[in-house]
Amino acid sequence: MKEHSMHRNKVIRLGITYFILILMTLIVLYPLAWTVGASFNPGNSLVSTTLIPKNPTFAHYIALTQTTATFHYFSWFWNSIKISIATMVLSVIFVSMTAYAFSRFHFVGRKNGLTMFLLLQMIPQFSALIAIFVLAQMLGLVNSHLLLILIYTGGQIPMSTYLMKGYFDSIPQDLDESARIDGASNTRIFLQILMPLARPMVAVVAMNGFTGPLGDFAISSVILRDPKAYTLPIGLYNLITEKMGASYTTFAAGAILISVPVAIVFLMLQRNFVTGLTEGGTKG
């Protein structure tokens, strides 16, 4: 009798679980499916859009290649990817160098440096927005991608250095010591012992370095004024606000074209940075 009721409880519990998960799957997939649907729908407006298009068309994807005075989809795409990858690479280099020094060496100014990093990590980079706006205009650095990359990289340093230093700290010093006895130099220990062991955290730093610039609107919209120099967030935002909803289907095609590769890479690399997040982020 008891076994029977336990079995029934289990069925009910799993039943409810599956129901909730299926419902959530619909909620998660609906906006994504809707975007895919819109991108294949004929016409410009969304009024007649259906989830599964009756007459699917590639017209909107082809429209992405046709540039106008204010529409340069593939320039935006390339700008976004270029800026994000440059920021990612530079952040990983600068962050791991700084974190290595902070984790393994005791030098004058170390404690003050760490406190400065801690403080800077709390001040939102947004605080610099006004200065960036005023100065970029005066120095004629408007539309400069290099400036943007340097600002993004600088913004990544405090927080990521803290995470990375924490991760380096958790790697036993004995490893360095025995390598040093074998005659390895500091740089060699850094590159061949610590960096490979810190791979999960390197992945986290790299992901932040890539997704931060990719999604940034505030700072990039302040610096980039020429439509050709835009990144995707600014370009796509202007596309749908300027034409009063008349170009949503083109937007949908553009959104799919960037989201699909990013999501695939994200899911493939997920395992790497999840380890870093759970090991580094939760210890605090």
Binding positions for other proteins, 241-270, rule CB under 8 A: 241, 245, 248, 251-252, 255, 258-259, 262-263, 266-267, 270
Among 12, 56, 242, 281, binds other proteins (CB under 8 A): 281
Asked whether position 15 contacts other proteins by CB under 8 A, the answer is no
d(CA 124, CA 135): 19
Q: Judged by CB, which is closer to other proteins: 66, or 127?
A: 127
Contact of 228 with 147, CB cutoff 8 Å: no
Q: How far apart are CA 157 and CA 160, in angstroms?
A: 5
Sign of CA dihedral 135, 137, 139, 142: positive
215 forms part of the interface with other proteins (CB under 8 A): yes
Residues 6+ apart with CB under 8 A from 50: 37, 41
- Closer by beta carbon to other proteins, 38 or else 64: 38
Least separation in angstroms between residue 68's CB and other proteins is 20
DSSP 221-258: HHH--SGGG--HHHHHHHHHHHTTTTTHHHHHHHHHHH
Asked if 6 touches other proteins (CB under 8 A), the answer is no
Does residue number 62 form part of the binding site for other proteins (CB under 8 A)? no
From 63, 150, 171, 197, residue interacting with other proteins (rule: CB under 8 A): 150
Query: Does the footprint of other proteins cover residue 25 (CB under 8 A)?
Result: yes
Of 252, 243, 250, 259, nearest in space to 62 by CA: 250
Return all residues near 256 (Cβ < 8 A) that are at least 6 apart.
Answer: 35, 36, 39
The footprint of other proteins on this chain (CB under 8 A) covers a number of residues equal to: 98
Does 178 engage in binding with other proteins (CB under 8 A)? no
| The binder of other proteins chosen from 151, 205, 206, 223 (CB under 8 A) | 151
Binding segment toward other proteins, per CB under 8 A, in 29-37, 55-63, 66-74, 172-180: 29-37
Binding residues for other proteins restricted to 83-142, rule: CB under 8 A: 94-95, 97-98, 100-102, 104-105, 107, 110-111, 113-114, 118-120, 122-135, 138
| Dihedral sign of CA atoms 135, 139, 144, 147 in order | negative
